[in-house]
């Protein structure tokens, strides 16, 4: 019985059962009922998907206790008990499993119900609903067959909605439904309520393994082993006239997180009408106008539940003749923007602690929050095709497809997809997971499919009235516009507007709550977060997210612009130091400008600049016309250029002439870069931006390399100081990215001001796997489970990690304060971030848009 459970028991009772129990305990109006546990489900599964005799007996006993409590009984003509049989897994899976309503009705009790309530129409409406749901859920008869009967009769009689159906119409519909049973399954509808009950329980148990439930579990990492509970509950009726109805509310907006109750309502209807997405409900305001007292009560309940659970609630309710009943409450699924706003607001309202607030949002959510939006300027030029309901925010452009299967095929071909459907139905999950957006003609924002879209982070615009879909012809029509399958459509889930074609997007910006949240995360994290950034745009974004500075400027990226490439090529092609002079000077000027700009934006925060790392041949021309052009530009013969290219060609460039090895052959290049760095810093300093340049040397393996370069660069810097008659604090550190460097890190540390691990190269060299060639064999290793993960995706903490630990220990042997960072792209890998945190790393550096995610991860490591 619901009165016996509580909210802690969701593993056994399922989320829905535990919620119903908890609400009962709180004294909220919940129809009586009981829960068949997940343990019973597991027994059912073990028993070859059959309900064992003793379980059925127990259910019957509990039901008869319930009958006594409510003073009604199954099949009784004076006081017939009607019940619903509802699925409910330990983890909420909105709309993925089945539910049957109105069980207990048959040819006799339907008449009795009509007399008892003095409302024959209501009784027969409930009966036709039972036949429909039972037929679909228990016998697997396609929903369409029943829908067609309803459609036909409405057409013949010229009715607009189901509500116009009279008692006689409904009786006829019921007869037709019974024929469908015979035609489709050669079976009759069971008149015995007990038989209805056991068949429904059986079917709801089985729905744990239906296709959409499996897809949902896979997508959300939910175990297939949990099983579902089943709730048996007395019916209350939203379809009992104009003062009855059903709806879904959220205690705050699930799209934006805005405060205040938010929801949808459908008068004279049963719950399935709204959550299954077949009818478009109206905003809650309508309820406020028609039944203000009921509305106020509902708001009070919503508030009470939120205060009790300390979180935003998603509540299903039904009103029967002016009385409210609560049928479900759970923590509401929400968009990433709402997740952040709600967490911040709950902390500020004193409902939860700051630490709890930080734990409420997953790091991935922060990343999703930064998904692009339509460019507002572009949007003004576009014509709005139609406006639906903004069910899941964001910007999506894609090619339209009309079925989940077609969407999947298109996705597999690499296309971006907008799934366009008649109803907002949870069945479409298979298509939704591969789509950028979902657009539907009918259905509300509180339907299960809309809930799922928000959870998946895909855009959804639902209930677009003007939308006509012709699945056969594969076209849609919106007002005058026709779109064929595969044509582009853009959907704005924030405003509900649709546009033809593809609209340009821009990166989302940081709002007030987001920056507050990031500030809290930054305070909680022990490790500092830096960004890998080469441009002021990247740096600005990173600082905005709370980065402490730059952990890696890749200078080679700065050379890939036309003007610079030209100078660099001239440099590489030069035959002696004298010929290198002019291009070096030009490059120094350009790099100085780059660095100066970064320093100005960094405003004194650390900017770590790595000297040239890439193999020289990467910068040389490859095609005939390019070679001809370079030859002309440098006053050389084509033959000379070709010879030089051949000379620079390496068998294995990744392990060849790159990194600090370049500096040994061409010291002028590093000297030039250091000159640029120092002069830029001097300039920034002179303008009042206190700058301490951090110079980083790549690919060091030998203490002697470090010594040699340190000597070279210190001398160069000192010359610059003398010439300019100033001095400046500066640091020279090194990447630690070869196994040898890890092994002798103590010797390297003597000459290094800081270390920074390059995890890609270190992984490459530790395994001896060429990163560019792993496609040939790593998949097989993964298949055969010889490797647990791709080591370039998930840090190998065991092997590579052991080298890293050694290097940290050795590096700090004589200098316990040695700053040690990481500048590989490890932000996406939670195990790597945790590993570095445990091993006392000073900072982590990642791409700018990963900064929020890594910040939160590092904060959560401590909570
Ligand atoms: P789902 O998990 O798909 O939401 P539910 O078990 O919550 O399935 O049932 C769907 C809807 O059916 C509910 O939102 C509710 O409105 C309606 N419903 C379920 N049980 C009852 C009941 N005992 N009385 C009235 N309506 C019910
Ligand atoms: Mg529900
Ligand atoms: Mg490297």
Among protein residues, the one with the nearest Cα to ligand 1's atom 3 is 95
User: What long-range pairs does 560-569 form, CB within 8 A, spacing at least 24?
Assistant: 563/590, 564/590, 565/619, 566/633, 568/619, 569/619, 569/620, 569/621, 569/630, 569/633, 569/634
Separation between Cα atoms, residue 318 and residue 246, nearest integer Å: 4
Among residues 660, 613, 661, 654, which one has the least CA distance to residue 774? Answer: 654
User: Residues near ligand 1 with C-beta < 6 Å?
Assistant: 31, 84, 86-87, 95, 99, 101, 233-236, 246, 270-272, 275, 316, 318, 327-328
Report whether pLDDT(836) > 70: yes
Separation between Cα atoms, residue 149 and residue 117, nearest integer Å: 27
Sheet holding 467-470, edge to edge: 467-470, 475-478, 481-484
Among protein residues, the one with the nearest Cα to ligand 1's atom 13 is 271
Residue 699 alpha carbon to ligand 3 centre in Å:
6
Pocket test for ligand 1, best of 88, 207, 264, 328 (most atoms within 8 A of CB): 328
Residue 327 alpha carbon to ligand 1 centre in Å:
6
Place of tokens 């699925």: 87
Among residues 836, 817, 857, 859, which one has the least CA distance to residue 759? Answer: 836
Residues annotated as catalytic (active site), given as ranges: 448, 823
Pocket test for ligand 1, best of 103, 313, 327, 425 (most atoms within 8 A of CB): 327
Q: Which atom of ligand 1 is nearest to the CA of 93?
A: 2
pLDDT band at 61 (very low <50, low <70, confident <90, very high): very high
Residue 499 alpha carbon to ligand 3 centre in Å:
45
CA neighbours closer than 13 Å in the CB half-sphere of residue 663 = 25
Q: Which atom of ligand 1 is nearest to the CA of 234?
A: 23
Report whether pLDDT(825) > 90: no
Binding-site residue numbers are 554, 610, 737, 758-761
Report whether pLDDT(826) > 80: no
Place of tokens 């855009």: 459
pLDDT confidence of residue 449: 82
Q: Which atom of ligand 1 is nearest to the CA of 231?
A: 6
**Residues shown for the chain:** 863
DSSP letter string over 131-175? HHHHHHHTT---HHHHHHHHHHHHHHHT-SSGGG--HHHHHHHHH
Residue 408 alpha carbon to ligand 3 centre in Å:
38
Average pLDDT for 445-449 = 83
Q: Is the dihedral of CA 295, 298, 304, 310 positive or negative?
A: negative
Residue 94 alpha carbon to ligand 2 centre in Å:
7
Q: Are 376 and 437 in contact (CB under 8 A)?
A: no
The ligand that comes nearest to the alpha carbon of residue 699 is 3
Binding-site residue numbers for Mg(2+) are 737, 761
Among residues 708, 832, 837, 701, which one has the least CA distance to residue 765? Answer: 701
Average pLDDT for 778-799 = 92
pLDDT confidence of residue 309: 95
Chain mean pLDDT for the chain? 91
Report whether pLDDT(138) > 70: yes
- Residues 6 or more apart in contact with residue 54 via CB below 8 angstroms: none
The ligand that comes nearest to the alpha carbon of residue 700 is 3
Average pLDDT for 75-83 = 92
Average pLDDT for 461-467 = 92
Among protein residues, the one with the nearest Cα to ligand 1's atom 6 is 86
The ligand that comes nearest to the alpha carbon of residue 738 is 3
Domains of the chain, first to last: 2-235 (3.30.1490.20), 236-334 (3.30.470.20), 371-506 (3.50.30.10)
pLDDT band at 862 (very low <50, low <70, confident <90, very high): confident
Place of tokens 């993964």: 782
Average pLDDT for 531-560 = 89
pLDDT band at 828 (very low <50, low <70, confident <90, very high): low
ipTM of the complex: 0.93
Pocket test for ligand 1, best of 18, 66, 99 (most atoms within 8 A of CB): 99
pLDDT band at 90 (very low <50, low <70, confident <90, very high): very high
Residue 270 alpha carbon to ligand 1 centre in Å:
8
Among 63-77, 170-184, 209-223, 269-283, the least confident range = 269-283
pLDDT confidence of residue 314: 94
Average pLDDT for 505-528 = 88
Q: Are 772 and 790 in contact (CB under 8 A)?
A: no
Place of tokens 């929801």: 263
- CA separation (Å) from 262 to 3, 315, 347, 447, 761? 29, 10, 20, 13, 52
Among protein residues, the one with the nearest Cα to ligand 1's atom 23 is 235
pLDDT band at 835 (very low <50, low <70, confident <90, very high): very high
pLDDT confidence of residue 315: 96
Model pLDDT for residues 308-335, shown as the tens digit of each residue? 999 999 999 999 999 999 999 999 988 8
Among protein residues, the one with the nearest Cα to ligand 1's atom 15 is 271
Report whether pLDDT(679) > 90: yes
- Residues 6 or more apart in contact with residue 554 via CB below 8 angstroms: 532, 534, 610, 613
pLDDT confidence of residue 84: 96
Q: What is the DSSP code (8-state) at residue 827? A: T
Binding-site residue numbers for substrate are 554, 610, 737, 758-761
Scanning 499-576, the segments in alpha helix (DSSP H) are 512-524, 536-544, 562-573
| Highest-scoring range by mean pLDDT, 630-639, 737-746, 838-847 | 737-746
Among protein residues, the one with the nearest Cα to ligand 1's atom 8 is 99
pLDDT confidence of residue 827: 63
Task: Give kind and range of the element (H or E) at residue 302.
Answer: helix 292-309
Tokens representing 737 are 């990215």
- CA separation (Å) from 844 to 4, 473, 550, 583, 752? 50, 54, 10, 35, 18
């Amino acid at each position: 019985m619901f009165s016996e459970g509580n909210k802690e028991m969701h593993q056994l009772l399922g989320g829905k059962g535990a919620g119903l129990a908890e609400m009962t305990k709180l004294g909220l109006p919940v129809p009586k009922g009981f829960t068949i546990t997940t343990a019973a489900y597991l027994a059912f599964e073990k028993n070859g998907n059959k309900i064992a005799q003793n379980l059925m007996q127990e259910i019957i006993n509990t039901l008869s206790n319930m009958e006594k409590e409510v003073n009604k009984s199954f099949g009784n003509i004076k006081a017939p008990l009607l019940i619903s049989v509802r699925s409910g897994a330990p983890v909420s899976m909105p709309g993925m499993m089945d539910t049957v309503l109105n069980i207990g009705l048959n040819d006799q009790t339907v008449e009795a119900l009509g007399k008892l309530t003095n409302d024959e129409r209501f009784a027969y409406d409930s009966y036709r609903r039972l036949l429909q749901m039972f037929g679909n859920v228990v016998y697997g008869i396609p929903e369409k067959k029943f829908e067609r009967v309803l459609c036909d009769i409405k057409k013949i009689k010229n009715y607009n909605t189901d509500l116009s159906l009279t008692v006689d119409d409904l009786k006829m519909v019921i007869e037709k439904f019974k024929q469908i049973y015979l035609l489709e399954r050669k079976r009759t509808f069971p008149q015995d309520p007990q038989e209805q009950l056991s068949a429904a329980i059986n079917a709801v148990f089985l729905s744990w393994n239906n296709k959409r439930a499996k897809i949902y579990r896979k997508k959300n990492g939910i175990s297939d082993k949990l099983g579902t509970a089943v709730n048996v509950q007395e019916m209350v009726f939203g379809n009992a006239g104009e003062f009855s109805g059903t709806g879904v509310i959220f205690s705050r907006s699930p799209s934006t997180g805005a405060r205040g109750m938010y929801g949808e309502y459908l008068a004279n209807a049963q719950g399935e009408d709204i959550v299954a997405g077949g009818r478009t409900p109206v905003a809650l305001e309508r309820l406020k106008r028609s039944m203000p007292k009921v509305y106020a009560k509902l708001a009070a309940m919503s508030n009470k539940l939120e205060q009790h659970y300390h979180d935003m609630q998603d509540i299903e309710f039904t009103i029967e003749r002016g009385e409210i009943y609560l049928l479900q409450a759970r923590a509401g699924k929400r968009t990433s923007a709402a997740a952040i706003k709600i967490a911040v607001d709950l902390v500020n309202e004193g409902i939860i602690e700051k630490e709890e607030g930080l734990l409420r949002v997953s790091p991935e959510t922060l990343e999703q929050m930064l998904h692009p939006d339509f460019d507002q300027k572009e949007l003004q030029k576009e014509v709005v095709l139609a406006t639906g309901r903004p069910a899941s925010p964001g910007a999506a452009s894609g090619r339209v497809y009309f079925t989940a299967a077609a969407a999947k095929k298109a996705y597999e071909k690499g296309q971006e997809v907008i799934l366009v459907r008649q109803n907002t139905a949870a069945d479409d999950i298979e298509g939704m997971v591969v789509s950028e957006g979902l657009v539907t003609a009918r259905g509300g924002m509180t339907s299960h499919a809309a809930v799922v879209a928000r959870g998946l982070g895909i855009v959804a615009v639902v209930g677009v009235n003007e939308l006509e879909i012709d699945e056969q012809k594969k076209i849609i029509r919106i007002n005058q516009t026709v779109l064929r399958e595969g044509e582009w459509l853009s959907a704005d889930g924030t405003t509900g507007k649709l546009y033809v074609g593809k609209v340009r997007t821009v990166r989302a910006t940081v709002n007030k709550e987001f920056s507050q949240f990031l500030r809290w995360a930054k305070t909680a994290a022990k490790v500092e977060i830096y960004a890998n950034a080469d441009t002021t745009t990247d740096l600005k974004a990173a600082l905005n997210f709370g980065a402490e500075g730059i952990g890696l400027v890749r200078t080679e990226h700065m050379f890939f612009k036309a003007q610079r490439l030209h100078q660099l090529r001239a440099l590489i092609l030069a035959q002696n130091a004298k010929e290198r002079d002019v291009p070096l000077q030009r490059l120094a000027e350009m790099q100085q400008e780059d660095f100066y700009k970064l320093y100005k934006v960094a405003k004194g925060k650390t900017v770590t600049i790595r000297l040239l790392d890439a193999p020289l041949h990467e910068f040389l021309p490859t095609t005939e016309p390019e070679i001809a052009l370079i030859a002309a530009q440098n006053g050389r013969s084509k033959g000379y250029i070709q010879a030089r290219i051949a000379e620079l060609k390496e068998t294995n460039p990744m392990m060849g002439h790159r990194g600090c090895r370049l500096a040994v052959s061409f010291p002028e290049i590093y000297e030039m870069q250091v000159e640029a760095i120092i002069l830029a810093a001097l300039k920034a300093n002179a303008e009042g931006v206190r700058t301490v340049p951090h110079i980083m040397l790549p690919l060091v393996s030998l203490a002697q390399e470090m010594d040699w370069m340190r000597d070279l660069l210190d001398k160069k810097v000192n010359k610059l100081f003398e010439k300019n008659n100033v001095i400046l604090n500066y640091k020279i550190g090194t990447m630690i990215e070869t196994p040898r460097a890890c092994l002798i890190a103590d010797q390297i540390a003597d000459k290094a001001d800081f270390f920074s691990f390059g995890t890609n190269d270190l992984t490459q060299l530790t395994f001896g796997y060429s990163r560019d060639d792993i496609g040939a064999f790593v998949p097989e290793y993964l298949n055969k489970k010889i490797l647990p993960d791709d080591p370039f995706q998930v840090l190998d903490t065991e092997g590579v990690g052991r080298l890293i630990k050694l290097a940290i220990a050795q590096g700090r042997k004589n200098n316990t304060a040695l700053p040690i960072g990481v500048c590989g792209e490890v932000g996406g890998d939670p195990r790597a971030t945790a590993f570095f945190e445990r091993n006392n790393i000073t900072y982590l550096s990642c791409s700018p848009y990963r900064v929020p995610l890594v910040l939160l991860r590092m904060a959560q490591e401590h909570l």
